[in-house]
Every structure is written in structure tokens, then in C-alpha cells.
């Protein structure tokens, strides 16, 4: 039975854990959320890379068999670097599975990507999609989406106006939209309303969980879920509930250097 390590800049990556638990209920999962330094998406590439290296090393010290990068910003900027640093370790980023799903879903060949400023600026989704052929890719950063979700403002006039502002330039231009940030799937009804029913929305947490399940066998008895956080912020239990949907077996505050 494989022990699955998952890291994210904060709590949003628990959506990936939720999918993994659904598909592989008998596997043990160790989750690291770098809540002391969240968010990553507004920071420089050098800093994001450094944080991702520290996060991965934390999981490796706990002898995980695979590292899943649940954070789209870290996936976009640091996954190649991490794979080069740890060639002996299976490292699965949330990026490739979501790109593959988008390519498969798109009929027109016109794909939109929304994510943090750092994710979109990296151009990594675009370059990965272009490996599959002649696609037209439009990236758009949506920096207010994460704070909206963390405020619980996921439906209604304010999120709709903000979604209109960000997505206007994508309307009618694409047939597939990748929600390339852990928080964005929670805004699905609002994004759907703005984009219309004809656009396929790709939820990367589902896609990455499928890939892990293909590569690793599930265990034989109920798997445990340990959650490590670099900070225990106020209101964290409500956010864990929102993203994970169940209480973990343990929540421990750690330094990534431990």
C-alpha cells in the first residue's frame, strides 16, 4: 500500500485529498498545507520554488511513496524543478492531468485557463497544451477568486460581478475552461452562470486523483489521513470542512523545517 503525500500552499489542496479518499479509501494520506506562508500565487518564481522544495522535503522525510502537488501555482512553477531534484520519487502535479482532460474535452481547440497571477504568468498550461497539437489557449488570472471563496462569497451579486469582470474576454472564445486553482471549483455555479452551459469546466482535483489511482494500488484496510499545517489560522476548521468534507484523523502544527 502506497502512502500518498500531498502538499499545497494552504487548505485548498484538501479538495484533492477529498477526491483521493473517494477513489482510494484504503490508502493513507499525509497532507502538508503551508498556511504560514499562504498564498503562493502572488509571490515570485524563486520564492515559490524554494517553498515547494521545502514542502516536498517535509513529505519525503515522512517516507511517502508519491508526492502529489495539489497547488496549481507550485505545479506551474516548481514541478519540473522538483522532479529534477528528486528523480527517484514519483511526483504527480495537478497540472498535467487537468491539461490532458482539457485537450480531450475541447472540440473547438480553444481552451481557457484561469488561476493565480503566478500560474497564468508562468505560461505552463499553455506550453503543456501545445504539446498535444495546435490549440488556442487564453490564460486569465483571477486574483479575487481565492479571497471570495475564503470569505464564503461563492454565489450572488458580488462574485458574479467579479466573475463577469475576469471572464468577459473568454466568453464565446473557448469551449473548455480549466479551473487551475484549488479554490475555483467552489465558484463553479457562478462561473457556469457567467460562461454559459456550452463551456466544459475542468475540475483538476478529480483528474489528478484518477491518475494517482491508475498508478498505485489501493490498500487493504481503511487509510488514515494526517494533516500537517505550518500555521493553525483562526477559522481553519470551517475551511477544512469546506474543502475536505470530513474531519482528518489528526491535525498537527509543524515547521516545514522539521
Tell me the HSE value of 46 on the side-chain side, using a 13 A CA sphere. 0
Residue 147 makes contact with a copy of itself by CB under 8 A: yes
For a copy of itself, the closer of residues 1 and 158 by Cβ is: 158
Task: Please report whether residue 127 would count as binding a copy of itself according to CB under 8 A.
Answer: no
Residue 142 a catalytic site member: no
Q: Which stretch binds a copy of itself (CB under 8 A): 29-37, 59-67, 167-175, 202-210?
A: 29-37
Instruction: Give the range of 14-22, 115-123, 198-206, 215-223 binding a copy of itself by CB under 8 A.
Output: 115-123
Taking CB under 8 A as the rule, does residue 232 contact a copy of itself? yes
- The answer to whether 234 contacts a copy of itself (rule: CB under 8 A) is yes
Tell me whether residue 157 or residue 214 sits nearer to a copy of itself (CB atom).
157
**Smallest separation, CB 160 to a copy of itself (Å):** 10
**Per-residue contact track with a copy of itself, 178 to 217, x per CB under 8 A?**
----------------------------------------
Residue 74 touches a copy of itself, criterion: CB under 8 A: no
The only residue of 8, 55, 150, 206 in contact with a copy of itself, by rule CB under 8 A: 150
Q: How far apart are CA 181 and CA 168, in angstroms?
A: 19
Binding span for a copy of itself by CB under 8 A among 30-38, 81-89, 178-186, 196-204: 30-38
Angle ∠(125,128,131) on CA atoms, nearest 5: 150
Positions touching a copy of itself (CB under 8 A) are 35-38, 42-44, 46-47, 117-118, 121, 143-144, 147-148, 150-151, 153, 157-158, 161-162, 165, 231-235
Catalytic residue positions?
A: 71, 181
Amino acid at each position: 500500500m502506497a502512502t500518498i503525500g500531498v502538499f499545497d500552499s494552504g487548505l485548498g489542496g484538501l479538495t484533492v485529498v477529498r477526491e483521493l479518499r473517494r477513489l482510494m479509501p484504503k490508502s493513507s494520506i499525509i497532507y502538508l498545507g503551508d498556511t504560514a506562508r499562504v498564498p503562493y500565487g502572488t509571490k515570485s518564481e524563486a520564492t515559490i520554488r524554494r517553498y515547494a522544495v521545502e514542502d516536498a522535503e517535509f513529505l519525503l522525510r515522512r517516507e511517502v511513496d508519491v508526492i502529489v502537488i495539489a497547488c496549481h501555482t507550485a505545479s506551474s512553477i516548481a514541478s519540473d524543478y522538483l522532479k529534477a531534484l528528486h528523480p527517484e520519487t514519483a511526483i504527480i502535479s495537478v497540472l498535467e492531468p487537468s491539461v490532458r482532460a482539457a485537450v480531450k474535452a475541447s472540440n473547438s481547440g480553444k481552451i481557457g485557463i484561469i488561476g493565480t497571477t503566478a500560474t497564468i504568468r508562468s505560461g505552463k498550461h499553455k506550453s503543456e497544451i501545445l504539446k498535444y497539437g495546435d490549440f488556442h489557449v487564453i490564460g486569465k488570472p483571477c486574483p479575487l477568486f481565492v479571497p471570495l471563496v475564503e470569505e464564503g462569497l461563492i454565489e450572488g451579486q458580488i462574485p458574479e460581478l467579479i466573475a463577469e469582470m475576469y471572464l468577459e474576454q473568454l466568453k464565446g472564445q473557448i469551449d473548455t475552461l480549466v479551473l487551475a486553482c484549488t479554490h475555483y471549483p467552489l465558484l463553479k455555479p457562478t462561473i457556469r452562470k457567467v460562461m454559459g452551459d456550452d463551456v466544459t469546466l475542468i475540475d483538476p482535483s478529480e483528474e489528478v486523483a484518477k491518475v494517482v489511482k491508475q498508478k498505485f494500488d489501493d490498500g487493504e484496510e481503511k487509510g488514515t489521513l494526517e494533516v500537517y499545517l505550518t500555521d493553525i489560522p483562526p477559522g481553519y476548521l470551517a475551511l477544512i470542512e469546506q474543502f475536505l468534507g470530513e474531519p482528518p484523523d489528526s491535525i498537527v502544527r509543524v515547521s516545514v523545517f522539521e
